[in-house]
Amino acid sequence: MKDELFNDLLTSAKEMVSIEKGYKEPAKEDSHSYDLLDVKAIREAAGKNRDEFALILGISAETIKSWETKRRNPTGPTQKLLRLIQINPEKMINVLEEDTDFKQQA
Considering only residues 86 and 28, tell me which one the structure prediction assigns the higher pLDDT.
86
CB-based contacts of 29: which residues, under 8 Å, 6+ apart?
none
* pLDDT computed for residue 21 by the predictor: 93
Query: Residue 80: how many CA atoms within 13 Å on its side-chain side?
Result: 2
Looking at the structure, do residues 81 and 44 belong to the same domain, yes or no? Answer: yes
Average pLDDT, stretch 78-98? 95
Give the count of domains, the chain.
Answer: 2
Looking at the structure, do residues 15 and 63 belong to the same domain, yes or no? Answer: no
How far apart, in Å, are the Cα atoms of 53 and each of 11, 12, 83, 100?
A: 49, 45, 14, 16
User: pLDDT tens digit string along 38-72?
Assistant: 999 999 999 999 999 999 999 999 999 999 999 99
- 3-class DSSP state for residue 56? helix
Which domain, by its residues, includes 81?
39-105
Which letter does DSSP use for residue 27 in this model? P
Which letter does DSSP use for residue 46 in this model? T
Looking at the structure, do residues 52 and 75 belong to the same domain, yes or no? Answer: yes
Q: What is the CATH number of the domain that holds 66?
A: 1.10.260.40
Looking at the structure, do residues 19 and 67 belong to the same domain, yes or no? Answer: no
% of the chain exceeding 70 in pLDDT: 92
The radius of gyration of the chain from alpha carbons, rounded to an integer in Å, stands at: 21
* pLDDT computed for residue 102 by the predictor: 54
Looking at the structure, do residues 72 and 99 belong to the same domain, yes or no? Answer: yes
Does 103 score more than 60 pLDDT?
Answer: no
Does 34 score more than 80 pLDDT?
Answer: no
